[in-house]
Structure 1
Amino acid sequence: MLLQFGRLPTIVVSSAETAREVMKTHDTDLCSRPSLVGTKRLSYDFRDMAFGPYSEYWREMRRISYLELFSLKRVHSFRYVREEEVAKWINSISESTPESDIAMFHELVNKATDMLSMFAATDFFPYFGWIIDVFTGHGSRLEKCFTALDTFYQKLIDEHLDSKRTKPEQRDIIDVLTELRMDQSGLTLLPISHIKGVLMYNFDMGMAELVRKPEKMKRVQDEIRTCVGKKGKVEESDINQLQYLKMVVKETFRLHPPVPLLIPRESINHCRRACPGLNMGIAAIELALANLLYSFNWELPNGIMKEDINMDEISDLTVRMKFPRHLIPIKHNWQ
């Protein structure tokens, strides 16, 4: 279906056969990204992997991502980071003291997602659209969101560049990026703005589906607790034995794909796009969900029945629950 959005002709692909033609057969011709106001600002002038157009820089970043950040070897080496952060998260839930940085970053990500999918008149009417954006406040909201994200990213980078920082036994992603920044050879020199751009890169639905089906939640919890025992936490070495948990994660993605419409593409020749962080993302989701189900029993607030859970979704850049539901964590008693 062809739609004309201002100056932008847009084709909507809505059948599996056509999607196969676009995503597979002609992927090399249709894999760049359009230049949009929101994505350009929040990705530091397209210095990220998701929104950047095909270019020499994008090819170099893809190479770095596959070789230095998201290779299977590197994903395994980041295991300690995932386990440490999940442990902090579980402790914060147990103590009912959510970490302020985590809560703030979650709010920033939600705002950024909204801004990336929000209508900007400049994208469709380049000569006078900026006037509309001034009246609607889109430009000021975008700049406010960018400033908040930039401050957060800068704080993380400054912590890693601090000469007084204790050298960690294992490096995390920011350590790798800052080391690449110092590398003076070839194209791997990364300015600070480029590192922030790379940093721009599903528990709600999974937990909601399990709460709606208590027998399924009990089955996956029994599997996790039987396999892990009383050692206090789920480690990544346990995940491969948790086959039912893996099926729960896969089914959640099938029922509720986080990006069902994908990011808009633009016609160009000679390149391919895929998600380099897929392995790391799935590893993080499996580990976090396993620990949530291992450490706590989950209940709905008083007066709420499982039949009352509304699974309607709202979609912008990604999909999320239209009416988020809060759950009550009850520490599992091993006695």
Structure 2
Amino acid sequence: MFSFLGTYSLFFLISFMFLVLFLWIKQILFHPMTKKNIPPSPRKLPIIGNLHQLGSSPHRSLQTLSQKHGPLMLMHLGSVPVLVASSAEAAREIMKTHDLAFASRPKMSIPDTLLYGSKDITFSPYGEYWRQVKSIAVVHLLNTTQVQSFRQIREKEMALTISKIENCCGLVIDLSEFLVGLTNNIICTVALGRTYSGIKFKDLLDRFMNVLGVFSFGNYIPRLSWIDRLSGLEDQARKVAEDFDEFLEGVVEEHISKKRGVHAKSDEDQDLVDILLDVQKDNLTGFSLQRDTIKAIILDIFAAGTDTTFTSLEWAISELIRHPRVMKKLQHEVTEIAQGKSMIDEKDLEKMHFLKATIKETLRLHTPIPLLIPRESTQDVKLMGYDIPTGTQVLINASAIGRDPTLWDEPDIFRPERFLNNTIDYKGFHFELLPFGAGRRGCPGIQFGMIVNELALANVVYKFNLALPNGVKGKDLDMSETSGITVHKKSPLIVMATPRF
């Protein structure tokens, strides 16, 4: 019996070896092995990968690493492979040539919690749902006609802000507070129908943006997800989501009640919530628009619009204070075009070429979201000679591209003149300047936000001379940055405003 079992085992072993040999020969003959050509990578550590190399300012750290490893660099944040693109050429390949392959978003726990399972436009994965919600935003909310229809709201809020600053002339003021109040009031009125002010509302928005920008260990190192619970991040995200949902539920219910009432709004007076409710009621798109989707879209437009618009304005005025020559040149332009009017209106903005150049230069030097919202590959891609597998996260370092010395002469110098007689724009067609991304996942609300930027900057520099208090020179203004999804000026802009006329 033992002899029989031994013979049988030997026969099985030989048969198994022949099978392995056959499969190996078949693999060689019909599937020749090709060595994957992966992008250069900095050395990583066990478990955490390259997380330790991100530092307190990830976009700056990644820019430094790219100078050593190249414009396409493969990193590992925990167990997740992350491709970092730091050149205009690499960005063009990702967001234009292979845009469809990189059009999705990775699943991330904090946006999921804050935005109803990522049902918004920014964080939802690529697919039919995303196409529908983006189409609703572009066709019904953010088209040129709709943006222009809110002109009176922008100009009214601008006049109120100018009046508030005039009342404080000769005093030291926190200009950042005035700017965030202006952008908040405009976007609240446009999106929600009226302004919502006060410490409670501002605190809610601040908490939302702060939590959204916090690094979540669970997304990159699942075995360390307990850190997110222990640190309180998960609880903070849940509480912010609950508080914002309660607020937005109240807004939506208020709009529904008004639509049922005898004093229903005319088409001209509709805000974005009204428009979304009409789309839902009339089923204009053939897409079932759920209540959570309405709230997610509004929250997306509201939070992104307020935060990026305000921070761009704050950086622009800070740079103008540091560069008196540029300030005088801009003031000369706006004064000449205003021709003695009390306020600059939106019709004047098209003639202000130096104003537009100043804003472009600000976006180049101070990209509001320096690392664009992560993308994720949905198929294997050959990118600039490298093999990029499915499931790779992609970060576009828009800040590094904006300061690339091969693209920009003296890239760290604030010089708006570089954009005069220059066709480069920020709308996603020129990959040297990408503050709002490009391709399918480019920001659909560029026009919505930038007209506020232009109107506010033109009127502030037209009406006031701005100086730092206590005789501090402009060149000594603190320009250090915060960390987070949006990069703000770390310290508020404290100035003394005096009337120019």
Are 2:295 and 1:196 equivalent residues in the alignment? yes
| Residue pair 1:77, 1:170 contacting (<8 A) in 2 also | no
Query: Are the counterparts in 2 of residues 123 and 129 from structure 1 also a CA contact under 8 Å?
Result: no
Matched residues in 2 for 1:94 and 1:188: separation?
49
Among 375, 378, 399, the alignment partner of 1:268 is 378
Partner residue in 2 for 1:132: 227
Tell me, in whole angstroms, the C-alpha distance in 2 between the residues paired with 1:25 and 1:275.
18
1:112 pairs with one of 201, 205, 208: 208
Is the 2:323–2:475 contact (alpha carbons within 8 Å) kept by the matching residues of 1?
no
Counterparts of 1:217 and 1:101, CA distance in 2: 33
Q: 1:240 aligns with which of 346, 350, 354?
A: 350
Aligned position for 2:316: 206
Shift of 1:185: 4.8
Q: Deviations over 1:157-215 (max 9, x none)?
A: 34433426663643332222222222235534433321221122311110000111123
Gaps of 5+ in 2: 1-72, 169-176, 182-194, 302-311, 380-438
Q: Which has the higher contact order (CA 8 A, sep 6+)?
A: 1
Q: Whose Rg is larger?
A: 2
For 1:296 and 1:6, the matched residues in 2 are separated by 50
What corresponds to 1:309 in structure 2? 477
Distance in 2 between residues matched to 1:60 and 1:194, nearest whole Å: 11
SS in 1 for 2:226: helix
Amino acid at match of 2:214: M
Alignment RMSD: 2.6
User: What's the TM-score, normalizing by structure 1?
Assistant: 0.88
Change (3 A) 1:312 1:77: same
- For 2:160 and 2:116, the matched residues in 1 are separated by 30
Identity over aligned residues, as a percent? 36
Alpha-carbon contact 2:115-2:241 (below 8 Å) kept: no
Q: CA deviation at 1:41?
A: 1.5
User: What CA deviation, in whole Å up to 9, does each residue of 1:92-121 have, x standing for no partner?
Assistant: 434469669446455444432322221222
The one of 334, 338, 355 equivalent to 1:224 is 334
2:364 paired residue among 251, 254, 261: 254
Q: Which moved more, 1:107-116 or 1:25-34?
A: 107-116
| Residues 13-24 of structure 1 mapped to structure 2, 5 A cutoff | 13-24=85-96
Matched with 2:449 is 281
Deviation, 1:262, is 0.5
Q: How many residues align?
A: 331
Q: 1:70 aligns with which of 111, 117, 142?
A: 142
**Amino acid in structure 2 at the alignment position of 1:133:** D
CA distance in 1, matches of 2:327, 2:148: 28
Over 3 Å counting, the alpha-carbon distance change for 1:218 and 1:185 in structure 2 is: closer
Gaps of 5+ in 1: none
Q: Deviations over 1:312-333 (max 9, x none)?
A: 3334212222333322233x25
Query: Any runs of at least 4 consecutive aligned residues in structure 1 with deviations exceeding 4 A, and if so which?
Result: 95-100, 102-107
- The amino acid across from 1:167 in the alignment is K
Letter paired with 1:132: I
Give the TM-score normalised by structure 2: 0.61
Change (3 A) 1:177 1:90: farther
